[in-house]
Amino acid sequence: MPRDISKIKKRKKDHLKIALSSVSQAGDPGFSRYRFIHNALPEFDFNTIDTSTTFLGKKVNYPFFISCMTGGIADGERINKNLAKAAQKYKIAMGVGSQRIAIEHPELRKLFNVRAYAKDVPVIANVGLVQLNYGFGLAELQKCVDMVEANALALHVNPIQEVIQPEGDRNFEDLLPKLEKLVKKLSVPVIVKEVGFGLSEDVVRRLNNVGVRIFDTAGWGGTNWAIIEGLRGKADRALGELFSGWGIPTTDSIIAAAKVKEEKKDDSFVILGSGGVRTGVDIAKCIALGSDLAGLAAPFAEVALISDEKVGILIERLSAELKIAMFGIGARNILELKNKKPVSV
């Protein structure tokens, strides 16, 4: 049975309002624990640096993407439109927020009309993995994919958020066998992503064993959904505060996933590093520590509320910072960046 649309609207509005406030940010993603070794003699022209890479079979101009995040109902269409226009202009990948609402209420599919603007860049559909225990199956997941003409489907795993959320879905039983069947039948690759608490080596390994090849770490140290849900459910505020320190820092999660990737020797194994990524230097560290791309959500959502031009300004800033970092360590391209390991401090 579809949920009460008025309650969903309020929750999504609350999510966006709190997520874009400073109170929602908590912890250290770990970037400060690593430093690059400066190269005073890079021996190439700065203007020849190539930041392009490939993702989901498409060339993208930068090794970072617009990660999935709620956009609310009142603002969702505007946010997605502005993100999509900028993604197309700068040739970067983008994800959308959870599409569950549009499956239950088809009249809201217009919120996710990103292909009208992002015509040939990778687009990632998104819904919660736990919904496989609440009536969703292959048909519903494929609808999410088709709705945005996606190149991949992100299934987010968020147990801590769900148990603190007053109306959360808490039955995470037997999801792996269900996921294994769906991975084989879905028309696009599956990405499994956390929402800010990180993926451990064990979880990455178990997911990989059932066929998942793309992992979004979404580690601790950025937007904190324990805090957000605690603030929403006033009776659960203490819970939100207690679990605001729960999770795996982003850098630790990237390294854990990279260990599994190294063991598997599988070229289709892709790591997306996200969680508290805020600068081009953070992006460079994500790549150097083992991720293939870095993801940012809240910084993009914040500027997308204003305009696609503001999104473009953010992309240009991140690109400039990334290039300077690459120049400073003597990396001409992303492959060379991957081989410039930072040192722990």
Binding site for Mg(2+): which residues? 162
For every residue of 76-96, DSSP letters joined together read HHHHHHHHHHHHHHHT--EE-
Q: Indicate the annotated binding residues.
A: 11-12, 67, 98-100, 126, 161-162, 193, 223, 276-278, 297-298
Of the candidates 84, 94, 51, 93, the one whose C-alpha atom is nearest the C-alpha of residue 320 is: 51
Q: Is 39 helix (H, G, I), strand (E, B) or coil?
A: coil
Do residues 311 and 300 make contact, with C-beta atoms less than 8 angstroms apart?
yes
Backbone φ and ψ for 266, nearest 5 degrees, come out as: -115, 115
Confirm if 104 and 311 have CB atoms less than 8 A apart.
no
| Gyration radius of the chain's alpha carbons | 19
Binding residues for substrate are: 11-12, 98-100, 161
User: Which residue in 209, 223, 288 sits closest to 254, CA to CA?
Assistant: 288
**Distance separating alpha carbons of residues 178 and 175, to the nearest angstrom:** 5
Bridge partners of residue 333, in order along the sequence: 50
Cβ(9)–Cβ(76) below 8 Å: no
- Cα–Cα distance between 186 and 188 in angstroms, integer? 6
Write out the binding residues for FMN: 67, 98, 126, 193, 223, 276-278, 297-298
Please give the Cα distance from 40 to 140 (Å, whole number). 54
CA gap 242, 197 in Å, rounded:
14
